[in-house]
Amino acid sequence: MNATDEMGATGDTAPLGDLMLSMDVADTLRRTPEIAEDPDAMGRLKAIYASLGLTPSAGALSDGLEGYRTKRFVYVPKQAGLGVSLARLYVVRRHWLPGAVAIGLMLLIGLGGYYLIYRPYHDRQIEQARVELAETIPAQIDGLYETIFDETKVQQAANDAAGLRDRGKAAAAKGDRDAAEAAIADLTNLRDTVRQDYRMQVVDRPGSKWGFWTFPEDNSEATNYYIVVEAHDTNGVTLNLPVLNEQTGKTETVSIWGLRVPEEVYRAVEADKADDGTIEHNLVGVKQFGFIDVDYLVDVLGGAVTHW
């Protein structure tokens, strides 16, 4: 309520300071703007206040009129901006602060886990991989090569091992881990082959087939003859060996397989079996320690199958 309203409500007068009068003048003009447009605005204002029993100074009236025109006493909301936005956020902080704190904690935990756990672990993995490619894998390759070179009794095995060694170490130097590990696998297989010591025999036991024949798919006029064989080590244990199946082109690890032989070898085994039900001459070949190939005691044609 301004001075004018208060005077009209109570009918009493109360002393007002010039500043208060100036503010009241501005408020009066805000409600009756046509007075401000009147050339005799000062006179009309004096009349208004005189009717209320007030005699404001000319300065107070003039200051109030100027304040109205310049809107000095009018509250103007602050324009939107960063400060206003921050202030509004602060006012409603109870709504967003818990969520923000939770998100902050999650970020803190995530960053802490990344820099304190994952990043050191990742760096160790990279360093470990570098050391393996630079030191461990080449040393493993050299060790396998030296073992093969020391244990083999044929130059071919030493030559094959040297080629695999050079291939593997070159791959490791280029950072090609897969190729380097493939060379290690091949060297390991070659070492195991060199160390094998076994006798290859025709399978001769009840319920097992000793041989069979088939027509090759690419020539129905021909016949392939196979004897079924297995390998036993020096302790009589049956071995599982990798065998290339000539029908599928895939290598399988099996305990028995069909070895392709000339018809006369097949017929000789057939006659031996028919004689008394036992294959007496069942030894097919011998693989000795230090060698890579089997020393066959019968003629073979170089093919094999794993299923029949």
* Average pLDDT of every residue of the chain: 88
Show which of 154, 176, 195 is a domain's final residue: 195
Residue 74 has pLDDT above 80, yes or no: no
150 with 202, same domain: the answer is no
Residue 78 pLDDT class (50, 70, 90 cuts) = low
Determine which of 16-20, 164-168, 206-210 has the lowest per-residue pLDDT on average.
16-20
Domain limits for position 129: 96-195
Could you tell me if residue 86 is inside a domain? no
Question: Hey, what amino acid is at 250?
Answer: K
167 and 219 fall within a common domain: no
Q: How confident is the model at residue 277 (pLDDT cuts 50, 70, 90)?
A: very high
Classified as helix, coil or strand, 212 is: strand
**In a domain? residue 88:** no
Name the range with the highest mean pLDDT among 79-88, 112-121, 232-241: 232-241
Asked if residue 81 is part of any domain, the answer here is no
Tokens of 7: 């005077």
- Which residues fall within 8 angstroms of residue 119, CB to CB, at 6 or more apart? none
298 & 236 share domain: yes
Residue 235 lies in a domain: yes
What total of structural domains would you count in the chain? 3
Q: What is the pTM of this model?
A: 0.60
Inform me whether the pLDDT recorded for 13 exceeds 60: no
Q: Are residues 216 and 283 in the same domain?
A: yes
Other residues' Cβ atoms within 10 Å of the Cβ of residue 191: 19
Confidence of residue 200 (pLDDT cuts 50, 70, 90): very high
Residues 105 and 65 in one domain: no
pLDDT band at 76 (very low <50, low <70, confident <90, very high): low
89 within some domain: no
**Same domain assignment for residues 244 and 222:** yes
